[in-house]
Amino acid sequence: MAELGKKYCVYCLAEEDMAAHVGASRTPQEVMEHYVSMYIHGNLGKACIPDTIPNRVTDHTCPSGGPLSPSLTTPLPPLDISVAEQQQLGYMPLRDDYEIEYDQDAETLISGLSVNYDDDDVEIELKRAHVDMYVRKLKERQRRKNIARDYNLVPAFLGKDKKDKEKTPKRKITKEEKELRLKLRPLYQFMSCKEFEDFFENMHKERVLRAKIRELQRYRRNGITKMEESAEYEAARHKREKRKENKSIASSKRGKEDGKEGEFAAIENLPGFELLSDREKVLCSSLNLSPARYVTVKTIIIKDHLQKRQGIPSKSRLPSYLDKVLKKRILNFLTESGWISRDAS
């Protein structure tokens, strides 16, 4: 501004010379007005003279609310909580402090400092470094308070946020979105609550739009070019899927039935098959033992077991076709089924 003022004074001093050069038909005032209107406020002045004064230094390193902003140490209004809750948190509302703060021992950096006249340059710089470290710790402490205040962490700790959520219901958040929100939680310290919520909602809109785009691309691949045709296509697609599902269920049932019939195909036509339980059928089929022989062996083993329990001596009269492996398998099966005790087996 001072430079422009000097130039303006020069113009004023030279107006008489300019009027004399133009001629006696123009006064110095008219010459000055003509110059200002045609050159300063005219097209030439608009093109050459900037609206704002150039070379003005702007501090872009510490915006309001930034990581190193001086506004971080500005105390916030006290929390609106009861006295009992203040005591629970150790909160002092008049100071907006807690009994236990972040980096509780930060004050020890400057508690022992003192300014002496005989300090040399190294000691002065060391004390300045201590003060700078302490200020940074205070800013970090205040930054954490701001994050807790912005994201309502104190009401969440006290259980008040649940009531607020019930009063203002929003759309239901899915399990995947909850997991994604937990993964994005480290971004809390870099974004305000509103910025984070907008970012999260934009991610949700992106997923919805991507799903819609895939759906429209699927319509296009199937020859659908109008939204009116999509309803008919979806109804037909659901019917096809339902028929496929019914067919798969019916084939699986049929396969299970065929499997059971095929499992006992080797012994189902033999005598005594109808006397066996399902577990006994499986046992005979796995041992390749006919039902009649199994019933004979089972009868002999149970009869010998009952005689031993009554104190009657008995000799094992098992058939000759029953080897040690078959005998052990049948004894274990009868023991597990509860026909005989483990001591007898």
User: Which comes out higher in pLDDT, residue 67 or 138?
Assistant: 138
Query: Quick one: pLDDT at residue 13?
Result: 54
At 99, list the tokens.
Answer: 């009994």
Q: What integer is the mean pLDDT of 215-219?
A: 88
Residue 7 scores a pLDDT above 70: no
pLDDT one-digit tens code per residue, 173-216: 788 888 888 888 888 888 888 888 899 889 989 999 999 999 88
CA distances from 241 to 218, 224, 291, 302, 317 (A): 16, 19, 46, 55, 62
Residue 297 scores a pLDDT above 60: yes
Q: Is-contact 330 343, C-beta < 8 A? A: no
At 209, list the tokens.
Answer: 């739009």
Residue 341 scores a pLDDT above 70: yes
CA distances from 340 to 281, 291, 313, 345 (A): 19, 20, 17, 7
Q: Which residue in 173, 174, 152 sits closest to 163, CA to CA?
A: 152
**Number of residues that make up the chain:** 345
User: Which comes out higher in pLDDT, residue 19 or 327?
Assistant: 327
Query: Quick one: pLDDT at residue 257?
Result: 55
CA distances from 21 to 18, 25, 33 (A): 5, 11, 16
Residue 154 scores a pLDDT above 80: yes
Q: Is-contact 200 181, C-beta < 8 A? A: yes
Q: Where does the pLDDT of residue 5 fall: very low under 50, low under 70, confident under 90, or very high at 90 and above?
A: very low
Q: What is the pTM of this model?
A: 0.40
DSSP state of 116: -
CA distances from 6 to 1, 10, 161, 295 (A): 9, 6, 63, 126
Can you list the pairs that 125-133 forms with residues at least 24 positions away whose Cβ atoms lie under 8 Å? 133/109
Q: Which percentage of the chain shows pLDDT scores above 90?
A: 3
User: Which comes out higher in pLDDT, residue 235 or 310?
Assistant: 235
Residue 73 scores a pLDDT above 70: no
pLDDT one-digit tens code per residue, 75-124: 677 777 888 888 888 888 887 788 888 888 888 888 888 888 888 889 88
H-helix or E-strand containing 269? Answer: none
Residue 70 scores a pLDDT above 70: no
Q: How far apart are CA 201 and CA 208, in angstroms?
A: 11
Q: How far apart are CA 70 and CA 65, in angstroms?
A: 8
Segment among 1-5, 143-147, 164-168, 333-337 with least mean pLDDT: 1-5
Straight-line distance from the first to the last Cα atom of the chain, in angstroms, rounded to the nearest whole number: 113
DSSP state of 75: P
pLDDT one-digit tens code per residue, 250-264: 766 665 555 555 566
DSSP state of 265: T
Residue 56 scores a pLDDT above 70: no
Place of tokens 């994005």: 184
